[in-house]
Chains A and B, each alone.
Chain A
Amino acid sequence: MANASAVVESPVAPVLPDANSAGRLHRRVIIGLALVLIVAPFVVYPVFLMKILCFALFACAFNLLLGYGGLLSFGHAAYFGMASYICAYTAKVWGWPPEVAILAGTLVAALLGLVFGALAIRRQGIYFAMITLALAQMVFFFSVQAKFTGGEDGIQAVPRGRLLGVLNLGDDRALYYFVAVVFMAGLLLIYRVIHSPFGQVLKAIRDNEPRAISLGFRANQYKLLVFVLSTTLAGLAGATKAIVFQLASLTDVNWTMSGEVVLMTLVGGLGTVFGPILGAIVIVSMENYLASLGAWVTVIQGIVFVVCVLLFREGIVGLFSRWLKQPL
């Protein structure tokens, strides 16, 4: 008997690398990313880079909700697109400076997230996804009907303005560095949320909600908070995009945009810190460089998605993470 139990005790179980070594790796990746962002506009067209950064932030915000909160929202375009409209409108019609217009768009996305989230988190799984989709569709039809959005035309020729009244954002490179700073701030905030006391409870709720409740955590309040954080950051991405392209249109509130962000997150690596960034690079690059193929782009995206899900379900970064045996 004693022998039997000794045999059971002996095998060494796989061990998570300690938090410090993972933290060091993450710090290196983030510093490396910052360096790449500084050099990139000298190599690549800045407007293309800004497009990637906006979508990368959007995907990171979505990943915070799905990858760490376990909540599949299928209506994230509503927050991205509505923030884009608010930012474009306040900057163009009311003449607000770009930083204030972006903040206004972000704030509206946060409020919208608070209202929609409070409704949606009452249900779980597929029902949660369907409620978020239905609410996002309502936002889409509102955007089609409402006067201030300009309907099919959208809001065009949005002035980029001067940042804090000083820096002329009309200059692509100046705007690029502003967008890069916004992106890095968003990424660092998300990183902090994941690695905070709140993030710990969030992951526990994702893994086993009834158990987290039985430990005395009011799961719905945590879910609502992460939902609002996610929609706020999605709004920040959408509002920034409106300044970059000087345009807010129906494309950004359309359900296909909600689908695209799911695609980016899954291709890059769900539940990894850096996966959605890579996913955004892959998807946006495909749209850009394969634009001559017209509607075939979506077919190719579909194939990439299917291949990705079949061959490496954890996404590109998830695959690296497995090789390195470190969470990324």
Chain B
Amino acid sequence: MLHGGTAASARPLTISGEGMADDIILSAKGLGRDFKGFTAVGEVDLNVRRGSIHALIGPNGAGKTTCFNLLTKFLQPSRGQIVYNGRNITTMKPADVARLGLVRSFQISAVFGHLSVLENVRIALQRRRGDNFDFWRSEKVVRSLDPDAKALIDAVGLTPYLGTVAVELSYGRKRALEIATTLALEPEMLLLDEPMAGMGHEDVERTSALIRRVSANRTVLMVEHNLSVVASLSDTITVLARGNVLAEGTYESVSKDARVIDAYIGAGHA
């Protein structure tokens, strides 16, 4: 009992308002990547607050996707370090980062084409079983995951397509399936790579609502081109240009920044 007491006082709980607000879930310091002499990302400092929706924007070639791939470990950084939940993940493998609850999406819709909608989501749920090396067991053992998979599929409105092979789905539905698959991992933090890319007007609204809903108890970092989406969804915006951070803040402050208007919005209106 005494021991427990000292331990608690030595490590104060961070439930106070101040502590929560400054709680950084993912941070990058001096993150950079060169490709054979070409610097795609120079030195990026990024801090994502827990529970926020953070957008990464910038004109074409600003290094958004490279930066994104560095954070998810699909690319190894040339310099700098990445800390997630107080843990240095700079040299970790992408699958292991995913196991820590930092899960990414892809710009082109990433589904398992020859598997059904149900199987797509169930694959993600199979992560609960740990490693699935049991090749001698019947797949009946994974059918116990079906109710949970169906609930996730229902949440994104794909119930009529349970048995459909993923390649046969429309683009918007593939993206919905991808979100359901990602959510099946119950990630603590989501990294979305242009979630609205290639979507029609209605799909954008539906997906915006979906992102808002899933961000309720988790952190979202997204790369996005659609500025109205960014404006309405994000708490913080980081503007990248030529591989470096140009500005950071709320949409109001960022959109008034002269350098941002010059590099990004200005270029768009030119």
Q: Do A and B come from one complex?
A: yes
Q: Does B124 contact A (CB under 8 A)?
A: yes
Q: Please provide the chain A residues from 199 to 226 with a CB less than 8 Å away from any CB of chain B in the complex.
A: 199-201, 203-204, 206-208, 210-219, 221-222, 225
Residue of B nearest to A207 (CB): B112
**A204 in contact with B135 (CB, 8 Å):** no
**A216 in contact with B98 (CB, 8 Å):** yes
Give the distance to chain B from A187, nearest Cβ to Cβ, in Å. 15
Q: Does B93 contact A (CB under 8 A)?
A: yes
**B98 in contact with A208 (CB, 8 Å):** no
**A214 in contact with B168 (CB, 8 Å):** no
Interface size on B, residues (CB 8 A): 49
Number of A-B contacts (CB under 8 A): 129
| Chain A neighbourhood of B103, CB < 8 A | 214-216
Binds A, one of B7-15, B18-26, B158-166, B229-237: B158-166
Q: Does A123 contact B (CB under 8 A)?
A: no
| Chain A neighbourhood of B96, CB < 8 A | 216, 218
- B98, B104, B123, B181: the one contacting A200 at CB < 8 Å is B123
Interface size on A, residues (CB 8 A): 40
Give the distance to chain A from B93, nearest Cβ to Cβ, in Å. 7
- A14, A195, A200, A229: the one contacting B165 at CB < 8 Å is A14
Give the distance to chain A from B199, nearest Cβ to Cβ, in Å. 13
A229-B135 Cα distance, complex, nearest whole Å: 10
Q: Please provide the chain A residues from 1 to 38 with a CB less than 8 Å away from any CB of chain B in the complex.
A: 1, 4-5, 8-9, 13-19
**B168 in contact with A197 (CB, 8 Å):** no
**B98 in contact with A207 (CB, 8 Å):** no
Give the distance to chain A from B152, nearest Cβ to Cβ, in Å. 13
Give the distance to chain B from A65, nearest Cβ to Cβ, in Å. 13
> Known contacts being A16-B116, A208-B111, is A215 close to B135, with CB within 8 Å?
no
Q: Does A193 contact B (CB under 8 A)?
A: yes
| Chain B neighbourhood of A216, CB < 8 A | 95-96, 98-99, 103, 127, 185
Residue of A nearest to B185 (CB): A215
Give the distance to chain A from B198, nearest Cβ to Cβ, in Å. 16
Q: Does A192 contact B (CB under 8 A)?
A: yes
**A199 in contact with B126 (CB, 8 Å):** no
Q: Does B147 contact A (CB under 8 A)?
A: no
**B113 in contact with A207 (CB, 8 Å):** yes
- A9, A204, A213, A225: the one contacting B98 at CB < 8 Å is A213
Q: Is the interface of A mostly helix, strand, loop or mixed?
A: helix
A9-B126 Cα distance, complex, nearest whole Å: 30
A4-B169 Cα distance, complex, nearest whole Å: 18
- B119, B135, B170, B202: the one contacting A192 at CB < 8 Å is B135
A82-B93 Cα distance, complex, nearest whole Å: 35
Residue of B nearest to A11 (CB): B170
**A207 in contact with B138 (CB, 8 Å):** no
Chain A, residues 223-265, CB within 8 Å of chain B (1/0): the string is: 0010001000000000000000000000000000000000000
Give the distance to chain B from A121, nearest Cβ to Cβ, in Å. 14
Q: Please provide the chain A residues from 22 to 72 with a CB less than 8 Å away from any CB of chain B in the complex.
A: none
Chain B, residues 72-84, CB within 8 Å of chain A (1/0): the string is: 1010000000000
**B95 in contact with A219 (CB, 8 Å):** yes
- B95, B112, B122, B139: the one contacting A195 at CB < 8 Å is B139
> Known contacts being A215-B123, A215-B124, is A193 close to B135, with CB within 8 Å?
yes
Q: Please provide the chain A residues from 136 to 168 with a CB less than 8 Å away from any CB of chain B in the complex.
A: none
Chain B, residues 88-122, CB within 8 Å of chain A (1/0): the string is: 00000111101100011110001111111001101
**A211 in contact with B138 (CB, 8 Å):** no
User: Could you list which residues of chain B lie within 8 angstroms of chain A, going by C-beta atoms?
Assistant: 72, 74, 93-96, 98-99, 103-106, 110-116, 119-120, 122-124, 126-127, 129, 131-139, 141-142, 160-161, 163-165, 168-170, 181, 185, 202
Interface pairs (8), CB distance under 8 Å: A17-B163, A196-B134, A197-B126, A208-B110, A211-B110, A214-B94, A216-B96, A217-B132
Known: A210-B106, A216-B95; 18 extra A-B contacts, CB below 8 A, are A13-B160, A13-B168, A195-B138, A197-B132, A197-B137, A199-B135, A199-B139, A200-B115, A203-B112, A203-B115, A204-B123, A208-B113, A211-B106, A213-B94, A214-B74, A216-B127, A218-B131, A221-B131
User: Could you list which residues of chain A lie within 8 angstroms of chain B, going by C-beta atoms?
Assistant: 1, 4-5, 8-9, 13-19, 192-193, 195-201, 203-204, 206-208, 210-219, 221-222, 225, 229
- The 8 nearest A-B residue pairs measured at CB: A216-B98, A211-B110, A198-B135, A207-B112, A15-B163, A197-B132, A216-B99, A13-B164
